[in-house]
Amino acid sequence: MPVMRSLRASNFLYLVMGALSVAIVATVLVASGAFDRENAGARASATATATPAATSSSSAAVPTDVSNIYRAVSPGVVYIASTTAQGQASGSGWVYSSDGTIVTNDHVVEGADKVSVRFTENGDPIDAQVVGTDPSSDIAVLKIDPSKVEGGVEPLQLADSKQIEPGQPAIAIGSPFGLQGTVTSGIVSALGREIRAPNGFTISGVIQTDAAINPGNSGGPLLDEHGRVIGINSQIATNGSDSNSGVGFAVPIDTVKQVVPQLKADGKIERAWLGVSSSDAAPRDGAVVQQVTGAPAQKAGLRPGDVILRFDDRAIATASDLGQAVNTRKPGDTVKVEVQRNGSRETLNVTLGTRPSEAQQQG
């Protein structure tokens, strides 16, 4: 089974006598949620390609000029350095809006006492404030004074997760091993993957790519062939080493659009919680309850072995569907959950709770 590794680089990951140090070992894939879509405030960056934007059905035929995309987008990608009680670490991030909002991964700044960003390899560090973090989506929002950036900040343009297709170009920009401004390219290998978040819950709807990403790429943008952000590079799958093996994962952009405004407003997000662990019911549709892990499900009468078929008005085909459905609701909402039990169907009323800060058991 492949090992999942997050991509924060620790101890000033520079190339010194060929020695590299990396940190933050993530775990294997599990099952949880994604999020609603919401328009973001980022303005469009400079045109990234010489060709007009194409629809998803024709984008694969558009030649991708990575050098043009790099020139247009790289001024909006930053190197992030953080200081924690355990030492120093680094990662990547990108400009979300013209007010100086920077987006990165939660695990890049987790536990940080001090955070700074750098726009060019030889540029001066700029102090950054951690505005909010969401371990459940592995997203963090930083704020800098945009007047301290020579020439001003250049927000990146955001794509639409509904338009992303396997096989389309994917371009990563970041600071692997502390090497700022590194660009790599590949394709979107698959959609709808799941990775474990820093707090042990799961991020669903994740993009898989073969664009080379390594420790230090965490928080950097994954781009489409028009230079628009399609996701935040977050983890890699390996066979035990810390380097790229052609399987990387990015938190999808529609998750970013939903999470960032809430973090800017409140600094944190309270998420709904059903309180079950589940798995796919394949080859049939549905999510099989493996364990009842929390009070909301217990009080509603959910049992191990129940196959959840509907969550309110949403059909449930997989465990990932269930996680995404829960994450569209708020704590305290009462929903109807249709289950198949012992050959018959029943509808239960469930009042959703508030997700714990960490997952003791997946649910």
Nearest Cα neighbor of 332 from 353, 349, 348, 350 is: 353
Is 241 a residue of the active site?
no
User: Among residues 97, 107, 254, 277, which one is catalytic?
Assistant: 107
User: Among residues 45, 59, 92, 138, which one is catalytic?
Assistant: 138
Is 243 a residue of the active site?
no
User: Among residues 45, 82, 116, 218, which one is catalytic?
Assistant: 218
> CA dist 90 to 78, 174, 182, Å?
11, 11, 14
Cβ contact 8:109 at 8 Å = no
Is 138 a residue of the active site?
yes
Cβ contact 49:227 at 8 Å = yes
Cβ contact 40:228 at 8 Å = no
Residues with catalytic function: 107, 138, 218
